[in-house]
Amino acid sequence: MKFNKEYITYVIVFFIVLTFGILAYLDLYACPFYFITGIPCPMCGMTRAFFSVFKLDFKSSFYFHALWPVVMVVLPTYIFLIIKKIKINKKLENTISIIIACMFLGYYIFRHIIGSEIVEIHFHDSLIYKIYFLLFK
C-alpha cells in the first residue's frame, strides 16, 4: 500500500493534536520553553484556550489567549500549503507570516503591560534556575 504525502501529513497532525490533547487533559503537558527558562512564550495560554473552546467556554478561551481564532485559521491553511492543496505567492506568504508574528508579539507585550497572570515570569520555577542553584549553592 502506497501512502501519499497528504495522507501522511493528516495522520501526523492527528496524532500530534491527540498527544497534546491527552497530555493537557491529564495535566501532564508543560511548555518546554517555560519549563527551561521560567519565561512564558507568546503562545502561552494557547493549550488552555483550546481546551476552553472544546468545552464551549469562549469567555475562558479568550482569557487564556485572545488569538486562538487566528491559530484555528492559520494552522489548517498552513497544512494545506504544505501538501500543496492551495498555492499562494511566496511573497504574500512571507508577508502574512510577518503580520501574524507581529500580532502575537504585540499581544504578548500587551499582556505583560497589563500584568496578565498568564504571562508572569517565574525564574525560580525554571530548570535553569534549579540547575544554577544546585551547582552554585
**Distance between CA 78 and CA 91 in Å, rounded?**
15
Residue 135 has pLDDT above 60, yes or no: yes
CB 71 within 8 A of CB 46: yes
CB 44 within 8 A of CB 65: yes
* Amino acid found at 129: Y
**Closest by CA position to 72, among listed 87, 53, 86:** 53
What pLDDT, on the 0 to 100 scale, is given for residue 15? 85
pLDDT in tens, 1-55: 566 777 777 788 788 878 877 776 776 667 788 888 999 989 989 888 988 888 8
Mean pLDDT of 112-120: 92
**Distance between CA 117 and CA 120 in Å, rounded?**
5
What pLDDT, on the 0 to 100 scale, is given for residue 86? 77
What pLDDT, on the 0 to 100 scale, is given for residue 61? 94
Provide the number of structural domains found in the chain. 1
pLDDT in tens, 72-93: 999 888 878 877 777 888 899 8
pLDDT in tens, 50-69: 888 888 999 999 999 999 99
Q: Identify the domain containing residue 24 by its residue range.
A: 5-135
Q: Match 517555560 to its residue by C-alpha cell.
A: 34
What pLDDT, on the 0 to 100 scale, is given for residue 3? 65
